[in-house]
A and B are shown apart, each in its own frame.
Chain A
Amino acid sequence: MKVALFIPCYIDQFYPDVGLATLQVLESVGVQVDFPEQQTCCGQPMANSGCMSEARPLAEKFIDTFAGYDYVVSPSGSCVSMVRNHYDHLVSASDRQATLVRRQTLELGEFVVQVLGIRSLSGVFPHQVGLHQSCHGLRELRLGPCSESMTARESLLQLLLGSFTGISFSQLQRKDECCGFGGTFAVGEEAVSAMMGEDRINDHLQAGTEVLTAGDMSCLMHLDGIIRRRALPIRVLHYAQIMAQAMQQAPDARQKRTANTGQH
């Protein structure tokens, strides 16, 4: 199985630890991954601004970079959704290679649970965790149940994190409201964006969150910016970082696969 790691541009530049944690998690469940160095960005900032002709070279670069791999794994639901769901106008539907790369580009949790069939990990994380459900992972990749939708779904992040010893989860008043990051929205609609972030953080404060986590570092970058500005007592970690930290505490460093049902 040839697996490539896609580290979104802003994680590469600002959150290298999240990239390393992702690598560490994948290696500790026995997957060897490549990091193709020509990768940059999926094109989402341009596409979300309506600038499709500026996004197109990046979509083409993405397909070129990752062609030939069985899977492309990334610690970002939003960028994965960009590739899987929003490349329709950017790459040709008749391009078989592009279709294959798009289909096989997976969010970290999807890959671990649905491809590797791992439903629990051993590790220790004795903290109260507030799970922020990043919108694109939730409503575009369906990584968990959405409060608007009456279709039952399993939360992949909660499944993986919930298997660690000592972890508990915050009970939020609004369990999947948007944090207000929204890419260029964070700047273009700065006032509403900041208020949305504030409201999410207040929900976590009332619920007693010690560690705020999510599947998308972009949401966390925005929330952490508010937390640091106000010096609030909440620590922010991507869920790959929680997994990496927790698994280091495990008695057996090399994780056993506890299920093998996942055929993607």
Chain B
Amino acid sequence: MGHPALAADFTADRERARWHDRALWFVREKRDRMATGVPEWEKLRETASAIKRHTQSLMSDYLQQFEENATRHGAVVHWAADAAEHNRIVLSILQHHRVQRLVKSKSMLTEECHLNPFLEQHGISVIDTDLGERIVQLREEPPSHIVLPAIHIKKEEVGECFHEHLGTEKGASDPKYLTEAARGHLRSCFCEADAGLTGVNFAIAETGGIVICTNEGNADLGIGMPKIHIACMGMEKLLPRAADLSVFLRLLARSATGQPITTYSSHFHGPQQGGELHIVIVDNGRSEILQSEFRQALDCIRCGACMNTCPVYRRSGGHSYESTVPGPIGSILTPLQSPAENSTLPFACSLCGSCTDVCPVKIPLHHQLFAMRERLDQQQLIGTGKKLQMKALSVVLSNTWLYSLVGNMARLALRVLPKFLTQNPLTPAGQWARQRELPEAPRKSFRQLYAERQQKYKNNSPDSQT
């Protein structure tokens, strides 16, 4: 369907779109207050960006170092070239242990690989244990935000969903009551699970350890009871040293939700006693991105700050992007993977640059979106209509005489022709005029007025009078 049509649907319900916008703007403002409280904020961003640049330039070395050290702690490291291999690896571990019930904490990577439907096809039940993710899982829809998966759902709607699935009172919408119900429900899921799967926020090459950040402690609960822990990570989650965490942990939660730090930042070095820890490292197109001009997009630490600040995302909702990672960073990553299906995303952006300035690792997001448009043009994916318009515009603007002529004719047309011609809904002018007036066309252009003015000066100057 494309972003413009889905966004038009979302904005058509103004009340709801405004509510969504305000909810996310509230998070953006919390982030601002937190950032203001750290005098060295901009230095931290600079440092984070430098660490990422360094890590990526030595990616293969650090990956091998990580594997060595993680293995030393007793973890098993698996390598997956793509989503299908990732899913096969996870399934084979689960089948080996005859796992029937899997609890899972938030992992955007498994969303990217569509792991849940794959496992369900093979008879394994998967319960997402992050509250927001559980809500969207019960509603059978994808997350609309990477940090706040259910931000598009109102508490009354959560109440309805829980009434249907968890047996809460009809009409109840008190967040505390609903959260308590979810807690009870999830406790029993944790107790019954045969294995736990988590994402990874940071993997440390120097120590072979992994770090998982959550606010609900659901990752810790999910792997505390069962003996099998599978941790899935994109290869870009790597950091060279444990000391680097001091930079990233300070930036992550402040940027994501405006908290000084996530409630739980759990470190894992090897499996628990008598258990197994499997770490699945996934490429799925990342090596290719690393070699492209978009490599900085891999610096992303999935804080979601670019979504919270994006004026388009806030008003169009996460689902309008039809992409695992929506918003500015998703509009770079998703078209890199499948450009033809996602060619409208880099244009779902007014190039305001707010994302670039909030990004804690200084990804030049709006510059990359600009560059992505050029790439789509090279791939002939911007649409023939637009391409023809731009070709024609370029010819007219390249010739001053032609430009002046067309300008004068267009202004005259706007003044004398009836609106059904000048505001034909099939033309760009008609699109503009759906909710806005076109500019009023003056009789003379600036260059005409300027020429007249110069002529007047010349006539009045002493030279012309002698």
Give A residues with C-beta under 8 Å from B.
Answer: 7, 9, 11-20, 23, 35, 37-41, 43, 45-52, 54-55, 57-58, 61, 86, 89, 135-136, 138-140, 146-151, 174, 177-178, 180-199, 221-222, 224-226, 228-229
Within residues 150 to 168 of chain B, which ones have a CB less than 8 A from any CB in chain A? none
Interface size class of B (residues with CB under 8 A): 35 or more
Residue B78, interface by CB 8 Å: no
Residues of A within 8 A of B139 (CB): none
CA distance A20 to B400 in the complex (A): 20
Residues of A within 8 A of B451 (CB): 37
With beta carbons under 8 angstroms apart, the residue of A41, A48, A148, A225 that contacts B370 is A48
Given contact pairs A51-B382, A194-B436, A150 touches B428 in the complex (Cβ within 8 A): no
Residue B217, interface by CB 8 Å: no
Given contact pairs A38-B400, A148-B309, A150-B41, A229 touches B436 in the complex (Cβ within 8 A): yes
Residues of A within 8 A of B435 (CB): 190, 194, 198, 226, 229
Further contacts, 19 of them, CB under 8 A, given A189-B348, A222-B436: A7-B446, A9-B397, A11-B446, A12-B447, A14-B440, A16-B449, A37-B447, A46-B394, A50-B377, A57-B394, A135-B351, A135-B354, A146-B357, A149-B42, A150-B42, A180-B311, A187-B432, A188-B4, A195-B14
Pairs of residues from A and B, 8 with the lowest C-beta to C-beta distance, nearest first: A182-B350, A225-B436, A50-B373, A148-B357, A139-B353, A19-B446, A178-B352, A191-B8
Q: Which residue of B lies closest to A173 (CB)?
A: B25
A50–B357 CB distance below 8 A: no
CA distance A49 to B378 in the complex (A): 12
Residue B300, interface by CB 8 Å: no
From B188-196, B203-211, B224-232, B383-391, the one touching the partner chain is B383-391
Residue B445, interface by CB 8 Å: yes
CA distance A51 to B370 in the complex (A): 11
CA distance A80 to B232 in the complex (A): 46
Give B residues with C-beta under 8 Å from A.
Answer: 3-4, 7-8, 11-12, 14, 17-18, 21, 25, 32, 35-36, 38, 41-42, 309, 311-312, 315-316, 346-354, 356-358, 370, 372-377, 382, 386-387, 390-391, 393-394, 397-398, 400, 403, 407, 410-411, 428, 431-442, 444-451
Among A18, A40, A135, A186, residue most surrounded by chain B Cβ atoms (within 10 Å): A40
CA distance A54 to B387 in the complex (A): 9
A174–B403 CB distance below 8 A: no
B377–A40 CB distance below 8 A: no
B14–A196 CB distance below 8 A: no
Given contact pairs A16-B449, A50-B377, A190-B432, A58 touches B397 in the complex (Cβ within 8 A): yes
A136–B350 CB distance below 8 A: no
Smallest CB–CB gap between B438 and chain A, Å?
A: 7
Given contact pairs A41-B397, A189-B7, A174 touches B354 in the complex (Cβ within 8 A): no
Residues of A within 8 A of B7 (CB): 189, 191-192
CA distance A58 to B18 in the complex (A): 40
Smallest CB–CB gap between A16 and chain B, Å?
A: 4
CA distance A55 to B35 in the complex (A): 39
Q: Which residue of A lies closest to B443 (CB)?
A: A16
Smallest CB–CB gap between A109 and chain B, Å?
A: 18
B390–A45 CB distance below 8 A: yes
Residues of A within 8 A of B397 (CB): 9, 40-41, 43, 58
Residues of A within 8 A of B357 (CB): 139, 146, 148-149
Among A11, A136, A174, A189, residue most surrounded by chain B Cβ atoms (within 10 Å): A189
CA distance A147 to B407 in the complex (A): 38
Given contact pairs A182-B349, A199-B21, A229-B435, A50 touches B311 in the complex (Cβ within 8 A): no
With beta carbons under 8 angstroms apart, the residue of A18, A35, A58, A182 that contacts B447 is A35
Given contact pairs A12-B447, A58-B397, A182-B349, A187 touches B316 in the complex (Cβ within 8 A): no
26 A–B contacts from the bound complex (CB under 8 Å): A9-B397, A11-B446, A12-B447, A13-B445, A13-B446, A16-B444, A37-B400, A40-B403, A46-B390, A50-B373, A50-B375, A136-B353, A147-B32, A150-B35, A183-B351, A185-B347, A185-B349, A185-B351, A190-B431, A190-B432, A190-B435, A191-B4, A195-B14, A199-B21, A221-B439, A225-B432
CA distance A188 to B347 in the complex (A): 8
Residues of A within 8 A of B38 (CB): 150
A45–B393 CB distance below 8 A: yes
A189–B312 CB distance below 8 A: yes
Residues of A within 8 A of B375 (CB): 50
Smallest CB–CB gap between B250 and chain A, Å?
A: 13
Smallest CB–CB gap between A208 and chain B, Å?
A: 21
Among A57, A151, A193, A196, residue most surrounded by chain B Cβ atoms (within 10 Å): A193
Residues of B within 8 A of A47 (CB): 370
Residues of B within 8 A of A54 (CB): 390-391, 393-394
